[in-house]
Chains A and B, each alone.
Chain A
Amino acid sequence: MATVVAGHGALLATALAWATRASGPAWVALALLGGAAAAARLHRLGALAYLAPALWVAFLAARGRLAALGLAASIPFRALALGFALGAFIGAHLLISASRTLGYRLRDDPGEVAVWIAYDLGANVLAAEGFFRGALFNRVQRRASFATGVAVSTAACLIRYLVDPLLPRGAAIVIGTVFYLSLVSVVNCWLLWWSGSLVPAFATSMSFFAAYRMLESGGLSR
C-alpha cells in the first residue's frame, strides 16, 4: 500500500496539483489511492476501489479543471481508436516476443487479469500518463521542442519503472521494459501532441498493460 501511495500517488498528486493549481484535488486522489490499495489487500474485489481515483480524475476533467493535462470534457474518438490500436499492436508484439523468447505463459485466471487492469486504470496508467505525458511532456515541449519533451518524458518514465523494486530482475526483463516502455512513451507523446488530448495516450497504455497483465509474470509494481 505504501508503495502504491508513494509511487503512483506522488506522481498523480503532483500532476493534479500542477494542473489545478490547488492541493485539494491532489490530497483527495492520494486518499482514494491509499483506500484502494488497502481495499485490494483486504479482498480481491477490493481492487474495484481503484476505479475511485479514475472517477475522481474524470470528474475533475468534466469540470474543466484538468485542461492543462490534456483532459477535457470532449474526447477525440479517432485518436482514441488509434491509441487503442497502437497499444494493442505493441501489446500483441510483447505477448508474442515474451512467449517466444522468455517462455512466459498466459495467466489462466481472468479474474486476476481484471484486478490488474483495475489497478492500471486507477493507479499505474493514470498516474504515469497524468504525470509523464500530461504534466511533464506538455510543459517541456511548450518551452523547448517536441523532441526534447519526448526525451525528457521517456527518460523519466523509464527511470520510474526501472527503479521500481517490484520489477522482476533479469537482463531480458530490463531490456524488454526499456524497449516497450520507450515505444509506448514515444507513441503517447505523439498522440497527445497530435490530438491535444491525454485520453488516446491513456488508451494506448491501457491496451499495452492489459496485454502485459495477461502474462504470468505481469505483476510489475502493484
Chain B
Amino acid sequence: MASRVSALGVASALAAVTAMVVLTGPAPTSPWRHGFLVPVIAAALAFGHIGGVLTAGGAVLLSAPFVLPDIERAGLGGAAAEGLVSFVIILTLGWLAGALRTRASRQAARYVTLVAVQRTLAADAPLDVALARLRAVLLSRLAMADVALVARDGDRLALAGGATVAPGSLAARALERDASVFVSDTGDGSRPRRALAVPLTAGGMGLGVLAVERVGELPAEERRALEALGGELGLALENARLASRQRRFAAELAERIAEATRRLAEMDRAKSAFVAIASHELRTPLSAILGFAELLAVRRFSENEVRRLAEIIRRETERLVRIVNDLLDLSRLERGLAPALRRTAVAVEPALGGAVELFRRGSASHRFVVECAPSLPRVDADPDALDRILKNLVSNAVKYSPPGSTVTVSARARADGSAVEFTIADEGRGISRSALPRVFEPYYRAPDTLGAARGAGIGLAVVKSLVDAHGGAIRVDSEAAGTRVTFELPSVP
C-alpha cells in the first residue's frame, strides 16, 4: 500500500480537497469537506497510525479556517457544529484506521517472523549454530539495534550475540528470575536505548533468554508481543532440540543394531568354527590315548617303552582335561556365572615352575626362562585356577612364537605389596593393534593367527574370567617383537 500511496500524493490530495472547498464557497457545511476522509484513510492504510493522525491533523488545520470564523461570527450554530463534528470524524477515523493498520501489519510481521524462525530451526544444526542463525533472522525481522540469544544447554549457556552473560546484566537477570526485564534507557545518546530481555519458555520451563535493544521506542504493546515471541521461540527451540535428539538417537540406534547384527553374525561363524575346532581338539588327544592304549593292550613292550607310552597317554589326558575344563568354564561364563574357586594361600615360585616344567618337557623347540623375585608374598588364589591360567598363557606363548625363541615367565610383587604381577612374554610376531581389544572375547581369534596355530579361541576368555573372579586384572601388550600378557592376583596379607 505504502508503495502506491506516497506522502506527496497525500499532501496533493489534501491540497486538492482544500481547493475544492475554497472554490465551491468556503463554509463549514461544504460537501467537499468529506473529501478529506480520502487522503486521511489512504494515509492511515499506507503509513499506519502516525500517517493517519498526521494527515487527519493536517486536514483539520486546513479546514479550520472555514469553520472557526463561523463560530466567531455566529456562535456555535448548526453549521458550525456540523463542521466540528467533521473534525471529530476525520480525527477519529485517521487515528482508528491507522491504529488498526499498524496492529495488523505488526501481527503479519510477527507471523512472518515465526515462519522464518521455524524454517531456521528446521535444519539440523548444533545449538550454537542454530542460535546464530536465529539471531540473524530476528535482527532482520524485528528492526532492533541488537539482538542476543541465550539458551541453556545442560550446565553451560549457549550464546549468540555476545561472548558471556555478565552477572547483573539484563539477560542474567531475566535468566535468574525467569521473567521479563525492561530497561527504559541503557545508553547516553540523544535518543533513548530501550532494552528488553524476555524468557524463552516451553512447558513452563525457562530455556533461555531473548534480549533486544532498540534506539527509540519499544511500546508496551510491542513488549507484550516480544514476550509472546519468547514463548514461541522457546517452543520452537525445544521442538528443534527434541527433533535433533530424536534424529541422533535414531541414527545411533541404527548404528548399534547394525553393529549388534554384525557381531551376532560373527559370533555365529565363530561358534560354528569353534564346534569344528573343539571337535578336532578333543579328538586329537583322544585318538592318541586310544591308539597308545590299544598298543599297550595288544602288544608286549619293554618296560621303558611302556613307561614312555604311558607318559604320552598321561600328557594327552592332561591336555584333554584342560580342554574340557576350559569348555566348562566357558559354559559358566556364557551363563553369566563366575568360575567356582577354592582360594587359599599359594606360593608363587612352585606354581610358576610347575606350569613351565610341563611345557619344557613337552617342547624342546623353545627356551623357557623363569624370573621370580626373591621372597615373593603368596597369592590368595585357587591353585588349580592359577595353574590353568599359567598353562593357558604359556601354551599360547609357545604356540604363537617361532621355534628357538624364548618364552619368559616372571613374577614380582607390586610396590605396595597388595598383589603379585605375573608376566608371560614371547618373541612371536605379536597381535595386530586392531585385534588387541578383542582378544579376551570368547571364540575370537585374531585374523592373522588363524593359520599359525590350532586353537578354539576360548583360552584367553577363560583366563580373563578366572583372573576377574580373583579380583585381579589382566592386560595384553603386543608389538612386532612379541606379546606380553600381564596379570595381577591379590597377595595374602
Contacts and interface: CB of A to CB of B under 8 A. Distances in A.
Interface in A190-212: 193, 195-197
B19 to A, nearest CB: 15
Interface range on chain B: under 10, 10 to 19, 20 to 34, or 35 or more?
10 to 19
Contacts of B72: 101-102, 172
Contact of B184 (A93, A96, A142): A142
Contacts of A93: 61, 64-65
Interface stretch (B188-196, B234-242, B263-271, B461-469): B188-196
A85 to B, nearest CB: 13
A70 B190 contact: yes
Contact of A100 (B65, B189, B191): B65
A146 to B, nearest CB: 5
B355 to A, nearest CB: 91
B21 to A, nearest CB: 14
A20 interface: no
Contact of B69 (A70, A100, A197): A100
B98 to A, nearest CB: 14
B316 interface: no
A145 B217 contact: yes
A143 B185 contact: yes
A177 interface: no
Contacts of A146: 216-217
B347 interface: no
Interface in B212-226: 216-217, 219-220
A196 B192 CA distance: 10
B346 interface: no
A97 B57 CA distance: 15
B122 interface: no
Contacts of B191: 193, 196
Interface in A113-171: 141-147
A149 B61 CA distance: 24
Nearest to A68: B188
Given A93-B61, A97-B64, A101-B69, A143 B190 contact: no
B333 interface: no
A172 B72 CA distance: 8
A158 to B, nearest CB: 17
Interface string A170-198: 00100000000001000000000101110
Contacts of B71: 101
B185 A142 contact: yes
Contacts of B192: 141-142
B165 interface: no
Nearest to B67: A101
B68 interface: yes
Given A142-B185, A196-B190, A97 B68 contact: yes
A75 B351 CA distance: 102
Contacts of A143: 184-185
A96 B190 contact: no
A126 B191 CA distance: 21
Contacts of A141: 192
Contacts of A100: 65, 68-69
A100 B64 CA distance: 11
A196 B189 contact: yes
A143 B216 CA distance: 12
A179 B68 CA distance: 12
B251 to A, nearest CB: 51
Contacts of A142: 184-185, 192
A195 to B, nearest CB: 8
A147 B217 CA distance: 9
Given A96-B65, A102-B72, A147-B219, 8 more contacts: A101-B72, A142-B184, A142-B185, A143-B184, A145-B217, A172-B72, A195-B190, A196-B191
Question: Which 4 residue pairs spanning A and B have beta carbons closest together?
Answer: A196-B190, A142-B185, A142-B192, A101-B72
Interface of B: 57, 61, 64-65, 68-69, 71-72, 184-185, 189-192, 216-217, 219-220
Interface of A: 70, 93, 96-97, 100-102, 141-147, 172, 183, 193, 195-197
15 contacts: A93-B61, A96-B65, A97-B65, A100-B65, A101-B68, A101-B71, A102-B72, A141-B192, A142-B184, A142-B185, A142-B192, A143-B184, A144-B184, A145-B219, A193-B191
